[in-house]
Every structure is written in structure tokens, then in C-alpha cells.
């Protein structure tokens, strides 16, 4: 692969994401705790707080998709006020909706969130990827994989200037733990950093 300026910037972003991602131990060190509002069967919300002052550090919420989408939950809203907190919250959400997979917002995704999904696709062997089809113009006869693909198509236009390349997008997939375990949830629970409300 020729190292163009675009490829170099992409590599730098991915490296920074890997180095910046918080672990549960980092959350403890920084005094960040989590509450989980679990409204199964169709809604989960994580809020992160600074323990010292109670200020919000981030929020991540998702809902169970109406379309089959391989049984996926889709992100509704995400915001992290600390650079490395977002990936930790995504890992926690994957654990919370397990054994179902987690997918990006089906309609709009920020650049930071795209980077997290790209990291899952390209650099997380502990995370399985499930290909999702397009609900409006299916490419496979299976109905179970049909899902909205608006955010994947926007990504394809932004990245390749070609909407038809949406299946290459990390946003066109759903993700779940390869081994079915819940390590982030378990670690945060063990550190007494998570509370269910």
C-alpha cells in the first residue's frame, strides 16, 4: 500500500485510538463511575460520572432494532467528554446487550464513533463481525440480516465517493464478543464502578 497523506492520517488516528482507549482500571484511577439504565427488552443507557463532583463524563444509549438486523441493538446517542472513555463505554455496551450484537446508529455517526467501529472491524480479534444487508435493496435472500444502511452509505460516499461500496464500511456490520464473555462488565463490577438503576 502506498503511504499517501490520507493513509498516514488514518494510521495516526487508529494508533491514537488504541493508545487512548481507557481500561476499567483507568476509569478507577480517574474517578469515573457508571450507571446503567436497563429497560430490556428494548433500551439500555450507560451514563459515566466523575465521582469527585458528580459531573457527567459521557453517555451511550441503544435500542433493539425493529428490523431483523441479526438481532442487533443500535446506538441511539453517544457522547464522551474524556478522549479514551468512548471505546470503554462501547465495550461495556457490547457486554450489556450480549449475546445479541451491537451496531452503530443506522442513520448518523460521528467521525470519532466511526473510528471506534473501524477499530472493532480491523483490530479486535476478540470481537466477531456480522455482515448486515440493506433493508431497501437486499443483496442476499436472507431476511435475518436486513437492516437500515444509511450511515454505512454516507461513510462510503465520504470515504470512496461511491455509495455502492457501503458493504466495506465498518458501519454496515454488527459486533459481539467472539467468546460470549463479558470482560468489561465483569471488571467494572469487580472494581465497584458500576451501578444498575
Note the pLDDT of residue 8. Answer: 45
Domain parsing of the chain, residue ranges: 5-196
Cα separation of 144 and 78, whole Å? 26
- Selecting from 3.30.110, 3.30.1490, 3.40.630, 2.60.40, what CATH number does the domain 5-196 have? 3.40.630
DSSP 169: S
Encode pLDDT of 88-118 as tens digits.
Answer: 999 999 999 999 999 999 999 999 999 999 9
Q: Which of 15-19, 74-78, 118-122, 146-150 has the lowest mean pLDDT?
A: 15-19
pTM > 0.85: yes
pLDDT in tens, 147-191: 999 999 999 999 999 999 999 999 999 999 999 999 999 999 999
Whole-number Å distance between alpha carbons of 57 and 32: 8
Can you read off the three cell numbers belonging to residue 184? Answer: 468489561
Amino acid at each position: 500500500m502506498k503511504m499517501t497523506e490520507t493513509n498516514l492520517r488514518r494510521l495516526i488516528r487508529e494508533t491514537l485510538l488504541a493508545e487512548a482507549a481507557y481500561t476499567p482500571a483507568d476509569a478507577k484511577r480517574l474517578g469515573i463511575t457508571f450507571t446503567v439504565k436497563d429497560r430490556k427488552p428494548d433500551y439500555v443507557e450507560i451514563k459515566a460520572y466523575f465521582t469527585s463532583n458528580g459531573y457527567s463524563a459521557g453517555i451511550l444509549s441503544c435500542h433493539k432494532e425493529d428490523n431483523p438486523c441479526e438481532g442487533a441493538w443500535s446506538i441511539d446517542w453517544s457522547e464522551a467528554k474524556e478522549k479514551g472513555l468512548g471505546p470503554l463505554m462501547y465495550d461495556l455496551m457490547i457486554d450489556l446487550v450480549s449475546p445479541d450484537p451491537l451496531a452503530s446508529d443506522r442513520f448518523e455517526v460521528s467521525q470519532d464513533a466511526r473510528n471506534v467501529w473501524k477499530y472493532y472491524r480491523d483490530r479486535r480479534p476478540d470481537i466477531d463481525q456480522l455482515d448486515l444487508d440493506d433493508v431497501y435493496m437486499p443483496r442476499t435472500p436472507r431476511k435475518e440480516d436486513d437492516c437500515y444502511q444509511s450511515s454505512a452509505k454516507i461513510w462510503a460516499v465520504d470515504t470512496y465517493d461511491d455509495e455502492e461500496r457501503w458493504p466495506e464500511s465498518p458501519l454496515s456490520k454488527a459486533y459481539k464478543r467472539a467468546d460470549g464473555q463479558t470482560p468489561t462488565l465483569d471488571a467494572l463490577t469487580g472494581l465497584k464502578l458500576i451501578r444498575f438503576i
